[in-house]
Every structure is written in structure tokens, then in C-alpha cells.
Structure 1
Amino acid sequence: MLSMENFGDKLEQLGFNFYSGVPCSFLKPMINYSINKGQFVMAANEGDAVAIAAGATLGGAKSIFLCQNSGLTNAVSPLTSLNYTFEIPVLGFVSLRGEAGVADEPQHELMGTITDKLLTIMNVQNAILSTDETEALLQLEEANKIIENGQSFFFIVKKDTFSSVKLLQQEQGNGSKPNIKRSNRSCQSVKRIEALEALQQNIDARTVLLATTGVTGRELFELGHKENQLYMVGSMGCISSLGLGLALMKPNLNVIAIDGDGSLLMRMGSLATNAYYKPKNLYHLLLDNGLHESTGGQKTVSTNIDFLQIASGANYDVVEEINTLVDLEQSLTNWSTDSKLTFAYMKTEKGIKENLGRPTVTPKEVKESFMKFVEGYTN
């Protein structure tokens, strides 16, 4: 059995200072250890946790992702289309529930036999974490070399690998709900690209723009590539989680996460996580055109959803309706002068820019220039 204190100290010596994940009984000592250190973000699901860790990595952290193997499949999308595509490494610890010969629940049986195979198929190097402390610490050093080479590495953790860690008293969240700020202007016909252009024109030098996958990122790039912009590809629904990790790591940087209705609906639990951790430097803008426009204009179910009420219920500090470009400009001004975690909702018209191209820079190149920009803003 490994001493979690010694193992955690080694992780810290290697520079790992940010954890995100979901509960797992096998990983409870590591989760408790990182919570006690104030380094853990509890995500709503495994995919969100991967994106949160990726965002922290963009901010200069060396990040750790924790999950039970039964939930590893929920992390496949960001692991394969965010971390792999942008070459954003994460050190993962995934429990081995359903190990052959070990009594466990029936839902873990299949994953117990395919966990290592699933990781290997995703091009994630992996190994069983040794229960011998000397060997385990050497394994960590080897894994760190792989991480520093820009690739992810996962340890598969068997039952009773770590010594127990007592969880200290945790802070309680603020349960008060914000009033929704309604626009006093009639809803204006605004296209997504017009809103994106307004964002570019109304942010200061310490603000970054993170655009969700599909047309949103492509249109933002079309308006002019800048080092403070990142265009997510794949990992649908993960944009605000990416923004959360970055905002927590870089409190002196302003982070705008540009979401879409189809995207947010896919991972709406992220609203609760964002609102619990409350980084005041995160501005979450939802552009809702009621369509999956990137794939042919199929309707989403957003017409049945009151996103403002949901964000208010999640307890964002500021929840506001944006009806016009003037509203958007004023909202950004308010946020930059009196920063609070903000959810802004804007209804947009359907329509894609004619002859819309795709980014001519690779995801890796975008990441590298973005991280260079972000690096200048100290924690």
C-alpha cells in the first residue's frame, strides 16, 4: 500500500498542482488529499473534469484527472478531440473496478476487462500503478517525462493501493440566487458572427476568447485570428469547463467562454460546477439560435429551455439577458470593471457566413500561441 502523503508530495515536487475529477472509492485517498490541499475541482461528470484539467494546463498547470473506470467512456470525447488534438497532456488516475477475481458490482464487469485496452486505443499510454512505494515513485518520474513531452499518461489503480486520508472540513457554497437582469431593449435581429465581432471589439488586452466547436470557432477565426483566441474542435459541451480551469489558474486574466445552445445542452451540469467555484474572471456567453447549424440546421430543444432560470438556479453571480449588441457591449463593460462570474444569454438568428472557411492554423499551433499569450499573466 502506498502512503498517499508521500505519493502526493512526489506529485507536488514534479509540479502537479491541479486536480479535477469525480468521486471514486478506490481513489478516495487521492481525492481527499487534493481537496485538503485546496487543489481539487469536483466536476459534474468525467468529460467536464478532463476539460477543466485541460483549461488549467493552458494556464500553466500540470494537471491530474481522476475517475472510476466505469465513467472513463464519458471522458472519451475530450480525451480524443481536445487533449489529443491540441496536444494538451493530462496525468490520469483511473480505478480498476471489475478486476478479474475481485468481488465487485455487475456493472463494472466489462470495464474491468477493457480499461487498459480502451486507453491504448485512444493512444493514451498507461500502466498499472505499483503498490510498492519505491517502484511507484519511479513510475511517476517516467510518467512525468511523457507528460512533459506533450502526451497524456494514465495510471490504472487497483483496490487498496493508497493509504487512507481523512477529509478535512469543506466549505459550503453560497445558496443565494441572483436576480435575472432583463434587457429593457426589444430583441434585435443579431447573427452569431455579429456578436462575435462585437466581442472582439469590446474586450481589453487581458481578455481571451474561447469559442465552442463548429461554426462558432470558424466564424471567430474568419473575423481575424489573434493569439488571445482559441477555437475548440470536438469535445462538444466542454467550452465553459475549459474556461473554468483556465480562469481558476489565471485569476488576473479575463476569460470569455462562447457557448452554443446545442453544446450547453449536452453538458448542462457544467453550469453547477462553474457557479460553485465562482471565478469572477469567467464570462459565460450563450449564443442561442435554436439549431445544430454546423450539421445542417437541425433544431435543438432550446425553445423549451429557460437558460437564464437554470443559470440563476445554479447560482452564477450575474445572470443577464442580452437583446442587442448595445446590451452586449454594456455587459462586457460592467464585467471588466466589476468582475463577477457572469452568465449572459443572447438569442441569435440562424445563418452562417457565406463561403465560411476553416482555421488555417493547426490546433497545436493555436494552443502554443494561446499559451504564450496567457503566460504573461501571473497567478
Structure 2
Amino acid sequence: MHDLGKELDTLGFNFYSGVPCSFLKSMINYAINKEQFVMSANEGDAVAICAGAHLGGKKTVFLCQNSGITNAVSPLTSLNQIFEIPVLGFVSLRGEEGISDEPQHELMGKITKELLDTMQIANEQLSSDIDEAKQQLKRADALIEQGESFFFIVKKKTLGPVQLTSTIKENETLPKTICNKSALAFPKRIEALREIQNTSDSDTILLATTGVTGRELYELEDKKNQLYMVGSMGCVSSLGLGLALARPDKKVIAIDGDGAFLMRMGAITTNAYYAPNNFYHLLLDNGMHESTGGQATVSSNVDFIKIVEGARYPQIVRLSNLNDLQKSLKQWHRNLGLTFGYLKTSPGVKEDLARPKVKPFEVKNRLIKYISGDKN
């Protein structure tokens, strides 16, 4: 496995995320030992974390058990494919026919390749011969360089052992929660988005969650430092985490919604554990799925502040109005630190709201250029 890991090093792969599987433990251990692995709570979140790191210039590797592909279908098809963000994947073949395994793996063992084929992701079985495996990696890398994802299916005992030497990071920081006592005023979402744009500088990247949030941000002003998610609901904070970790010199604001947040709530545990200082996670809660007709979410029954306190974000701010939002963002720009902001907003969508005329992959390409320093 060390030889395979070194080959990945040589090819420039320098960022890994995923959920463990015993078949892949040596590759995961290798990446953890090099401090290049982000342990995700969910496979779909890991795909989005890798996507964010790609925006920041990293070459990324996604690892999971084959059953976990089902958790990753949404971002693989509506984030990576739509935005043309490549990722190199390694997926274990649990439930291989003829090999004794647990009953829950039986069906996935039969359909792993077919599922990848259905998602139009190029794939092949990883060879146990190291010389052939190195050639496979080079062929896969050629596709990655062209902007296409590639997955290896890994059978049992394909990878040699790697001893885990890294220790678990202990987070002893207690959350600091600020509950503003100013007058409650539930602004419209578009008003909050305008405030975010107005308080952001040229080193700040804005990531807007799926649905009308991205469309309203675009409607206010289309900027090169913005990305509008069009799918992969619930993945915006994971995307932001990956970008923030890849580019600590930039500031990242992930604008979330209550429905999206609830869909992938485990992401906050990963965000809080890795806790990049340059990341502000803002939740705008209007209590409904407004993009799909105003159906209620369950947010009225949820205390988001307590949930995020439990995940141990170091700084948590309950915002009462637009003035609180402005002050919180300005404070964060002056003194960085992972921050979660929570603002209740009023329902309402601008009439005749436009859809972005720029295609998702064009948004991605210009954002990568912008992050790399090309502001033209």
C-alpha cells in the first residue's frame, strides 16, 4: 500500500475524504498519517468536501464502502457531474459473489459496477499487482486531468497493511454562544443576502445552498467569487469546509437553509471537528421548502443553536435582525474563527426571480480562476 500511496503522491493527489471500510483501511491510514484525510460523517458529505477542496486547487480522493455509494449519489450526479468537478474514488467490493460476507452487502456486491456505470462514472477493478495498479492510476489521472471522475473497485485483500500512527485530536474548546438581545425582525432572505454581499471583501467566497437562495444571490449581483448550488441539497457546508481547508488564505461563507441543513445534519460534526478559522456557516431559517411551493420543514420543532452547541462549533451567534448579521460578519472578518450564525427569515420570493444564465461549470471555472488570483 505504501507504494500505491506514493504513486498517488507523485501524481499530485493531496486531499482525501471518506467514511472507513475495512477493505480500504490501509489507504485511509496512509492519508491520515500524512494529515491529508478528512473523516466525514456521511459519504455524500465526503464527496462535497472533496469538491470544495478541488475548488481550492487540491487533487482529491474519495473513499467508501460500496454501500456508501448510495449516500453519495446526489452529490456525484448533481454536484460533481453538473459542475464538472472530478474526483478519484476508491470503493470497496463488499458482498462479492462467491465470498462469504454479511447479508446487507449481498445486493450491493452484485450492483456496484452497474451503479457506477449508471452514474456514467468511468471505473475498473484495482489490480492487486502493484506495477499494473500504478499504470491504472496513471490512466485514471489522465481522465481526472480532463475533468472526469474515475472510480476503482477494490476487492478484499487488494491493499497491503499500513499501521495508523496519527492520534485522535481532542477538542477541549467549549462553544461560545452569543444571543443578541436586540429587537426581533425577520428579514426576507434576499435582504440577508444583500447584507452578506455588502460586507464581503475580495478575499471572501460565497457559497449559496440549493434553490432560490442561489437564484436570489445571483439576482442581486452575479459575482465571480460566488457559487450557486443547483443540486446536492444539504451539501453546501461540506463544500465550504473542503474549500476552507484547502485555502486557509481565503474566507468562506456557506449560506444554508433550514431544509437543507436538516437533510445532512451530520455535516456539522465534521465542520466543528476540523474547525477552519476562515469559515462562517450561516443558516437562514424561514421554516419552509420555499423553492418547491412553501411546504413546511420541521424547523419549528428544532433548536438549531443547541444542536450546533452539541457539535461544538467554537462560536455560535443567534442573530435577531439584519443589523446583528452585519455586526457578526464584520466581527468575523476582523477576528477569524469558525462561526455558526442563525437568523430567522420571513417567507417571500422576489417576483419573476431569474435563473442564472451562466452554466454551473462556468461558475465553477471562473471561481477557480478567482481563487487562484486571477480577478479578471
TM bin (shorter chain): over 0.9
TM-score (norm 2): 0.98
Regions of 4+ moved over 3 Å? none
- Residues 18-57 of structure 1 mapped to structure 2, 5 A cutoff: 18-57=15-54
Deviations 1:3-48 (A, max 9, x none): x111001001101000000010000000000000000000000000
Matched, 1:232 2:235: no
Matched, 1:97 2:94: yes
Gaps of 5+ in 2: none
Write the letter of the residue equivalent to 1:143: A
Matched, 1:351 2:355: no
Match of 2:265 in 1: 268
Identical counterparts, % of pairs:
62
Alignment counterpart, residue 298 of structure 2, candidates 294, 298, 301? 301
Whole-Å Cα distance in 1 between the matches of residues 168 and 128 of structure 2? Answer: 32
CA contact (8 A) 1:177 1:313 kept: no
Alignment counterpart, residue 241 of structure 2, candidates 240, 244, 254? 244
Deviation at 1:175, TM superposition (A): 3.7
Whole-Å Cα distance in 2 between the matches of residues 173 and 259 of structure 1? Answer: 27
Alignment counterpart, residue 256 of structure 2, candidates 259, 263, 266? 259
CA contact (8 A) 2:305 2:316 kept: yes
Deviation at 1:172, TM superposition (A): 2.3
What secondary structure does 2:255 align onto? strand
Deviation at 1:255, TM superposition (A): 0.1
What secondary structure does 2:22 align onto? coil
Q: CA RMSD in A?
A: 0.8
CA contact (8 A) 1:257 1:285 kept: yes
Deviations 1:342-370 (A, max 9, x none): 00000000000111010000001000000
Match of 2:63 in 1: 66
Whole-Å Cα distance in 2 between the matches of residues 25 and 200 of structure 1? Answer: 45
Whole-Å Cα distance in 1 between the matches of residues 331 and 341 of structure 2? Answer: 12
Write the letter of the residue equivalent to 1:49: A
Deviations 1:147-175 (A, max 9, x none): 00000000000000111111113132314
CA contact (8 A) 2:258 2:287 kept: yes
Whole-Å Cα distance in 2 between the matches of residues 196 and 318 of structure 1? Answer: 21
CA contact (8 A) 1:175 1:315 kept: no
Whole-Å Cα distance in 2 between the matches of residues 76 and 49 of structure 1? Answer: 12
Write the letter of the residue equivalent to 2:11: L
Whole-Å Cα distance in 2 between the matches of residues 173 and 258 of structure 1? Answer: 28
Matched, 1:112 2:90: no
Whole-Å Cα distance in 1 between the matches of residues 167 and 287 of structure 2? Answer: 39
What secondary structure does 2:310 align onto? helix
- Residues 1-379 of structure 1 mapped to structure 2, 5 A cutoff: 4-376=1-373
Count of paired positions: 374
TM-score (norm 1): 0.98
